[in-house]
Each structure stands twice: as C-alpha cells, then as structure tokens.
Structure 1
C-alpha cells in the first residue's frame, strides 16, 4: 500500500471539502456572503430558507458531490473501503472546518450522505426509511436526521464491514454531531 499517495489523497479530500457550495452559489447569485445571512451557515438548509427550493437543491447536490467524488475515486484508485471512508471523513472535516474560510464551514450532512450513497447505497436506503419513520414520530427534520446518522456505524457493522470501517464511520458521525452541538443538542 502506497501511504504517500493515501496521505496526498486525504489532503486533497480535505481541501475539496473546504469548497463551500453554498458560499459560491450565493456569491454568484447575489454577490453576498451567505455566512452573513440567516443562520450564518453556508449549508443547504440556510440557503434554502433564503433562496427557496432551488437554492436548497443546488447546494445540497453540490455538497453531496464532494462526498461522491472522494469516495468514488478512493474506491477506484485504492480499492479499499477504509480508505474510502477515511477520505469521506476528511472531506466532511474540510467542509466543517475549511481552511479557505478560517475554519468556519457547514455541518457536513449533505457531503456525508453523498459519500455514503456511493459506498453503501443499500444501507442508506434503509436509513432513509428509518428517517421517514422517525420524522413521522418526532416532526423535527434536524433531530430526526441526526438520530438517523447514528445508524450508519451500526449499519456498517450489520453489513459485515471491518471494525476499522465501523470506527472511522463512528468518528465521521461524531464529527457531524459535534458540528451540530450549538444548533441541535441531542
């Protein structure tokens, strides 16, 4: 295994994560900084609140594509699940703590979902059904989504992924929960 290439790929993943779709979308659309508007978050929900469904969808898809790209190419170049998950962890970390924006980014959910769909679509499909059931019960989009994300490491374990994959996915979900600590304490 070529560890130097893995390290460079993880660095690339982190830097890609720091390209905040919401920021660039709003600058292109309105020449303003989304981080100075609404909740101050450059993510899809804040953009959606301010610019409607098209804004939400554009930013969600753009952020999800970052996760899709790093997981897809990690699987292609390294053919290894744990490297793909580690690259997903790094792209999400780059999204939450972007170097380009003084470490103040989004919450990482869309990026995580994109990467997980690329890695394990069946698990994400099951978790989507869990999300719908929990949403009908709690009627709270954010808390339901965060509770559903907790199922990712459990699902990977059920799908017989290695313990290192389960540990990396646990770190990934903890990072996202940590990013939400001020907004939605669970």
Structure 2
C-alpha cells in the first residue's frame, strides 16, 4: 500500500467530519439554521430542543456514521494503530472545527461515538447507555456528554487497552468543548433537554 494512501485517511476524515448534519438537514427541510436558534450549536441535541425530534434522529445518525465510516475502513484495512487514531481524531476535529463552516461546529459527541463503534458494538453500546441514563436521570444532555466522556477511557481501557490514549484525547476534546455548559451547570443556568422540548409543544 502506498504511503501517501495512509496519510490520506486523516485528511479525508477531516473533510467528512466538516460536513454538518444539522446544517445540511435543516437546509433540506427548510428549517432555521441551528446556529441561530437555541444554544446555537449545530448538533442533534439543539435540533431536539427545537421540537424536531425526527430531524434530531437523522442528525445524530448522520454524525455517528461520518465518524464511524473512515475509522471502520482504516480498521478493516489493518492500518497501524497510529493512523487509525489519527483518523478518529481528524473526523472529530472536522466536526468541531469544520472548514466548510468557518471552523464553528458542534460538540463532537455523536461523531466521537461513531469513531468508537468499529472497536466494538458492545463497547459503543455501553457508552451510549451511560449517556442515555444520565440524560433520563438529570435531563441535561451536556452533563451526560461530560460524564460519558470521563468514563469512556475507562471502558476502553477495560475492553481494548491499546485504544486508551486516543480515546482519552477525544474525551478531553469533548469536555473542553463543553466548558461553557459546565459553567452554566455550575451556576444553574443550563437548559434541560426534555423540559425545553415540552415547552415548545
């Protein structure tokens, strides 16, 4: 395999990550730009808060798949761990800092989950379960994302220890992207996912 082919993976993954599902589907369905409503974050949670449940599911699946596909292909081609890790980081950075949208993107939660899926469905299912439980108990999507990001490297270390470092880097990136949410949570000003959606109804 040519060496340039290996280095193409992170570059292509970044470009894939830069395609925002929230903005794309909002345009297709003639809905307001998600960067101008709610939390102004182009992600599935903000779409959900607007009352468009079906669209939030589409956005979540899109962001998850764009994270999964390049990592799955690199994994299937048996590329070195370093390149698989760089591919996963690149697609998440693309989602968070998209070149197509002035480097202003989402929080990277669904895309990061997608990058973990090729490692093991049981592992990604466990991570998703933790996120859902925290959301159902607390009502805060941001809190669920941060707690899941903290626990994800521990789960990875238990199941697939060789991926602990890249997943830890992803977790730190996600926590950093939620620093505004953490400040609002501390001050009691963070909006609950379900309560806000019910008010819209």
TM beyond 0.5:
yes
Q: Give the aligned partner of residue 120 of structure 2.
A: 120
Structure 1 residue 105 displacement after superposition: 0.4
Q: Distance in 1 between matches of 2:43 and 2:176?
A: 16
RMSD of equivalent CA atoms: 2.2
Q: Give the aligned partner of residue 84 of structure 2.
A: 84
Q: Distance in 1 between matches of 2:134 and 2:73?
A: 33
Structure 1 residue 24 displacement after superposition: 0.7
Q: Give the aligned partner of residue 65 of structure 2.
A: 65
CA contact (8 A) 2:17 2:95 kept: yes
How does the TM-score come out when normalised to structure 1? 0.87
How does the TM-score come out when normalised to structure 2? 0.81
Q: Give the aligned partner of residue 24 of structure 1.
A: 24
The number of residue pairs the alignment matches comes to 184
Structure 1 residue 184 displacement after superposition: 2.8
Q: Give CA deviations for 1:36-91 in whole Å, capped at 9, x if unaligned.
A: 22221111111122242101101000111101111111112234444333311110
Moved more, 89-98 or 152-161: 152-161
Structure 2 unaligned segments of length 5 or more: list them.
Answer: 186-201
Alignment of 1:161-176 (within 5 A): 161-162=161-162, 165-176=163-174
Structure 1 unaligned segments of length 5 or more: list them.
Answer: none
Q: Give the aligned partner of residue 188 of structure 2.
A: none
Q: Give the aligned partner of residue 7 of structure 2.
A: 7
Q: Give CA deviations for 1:115-167 in whole Å, capped at 9, x if unaligned.
A: 212222222233344445545654433212321222221122112422xx211
CA contact (8 A) 2:75 2:118 kept: no
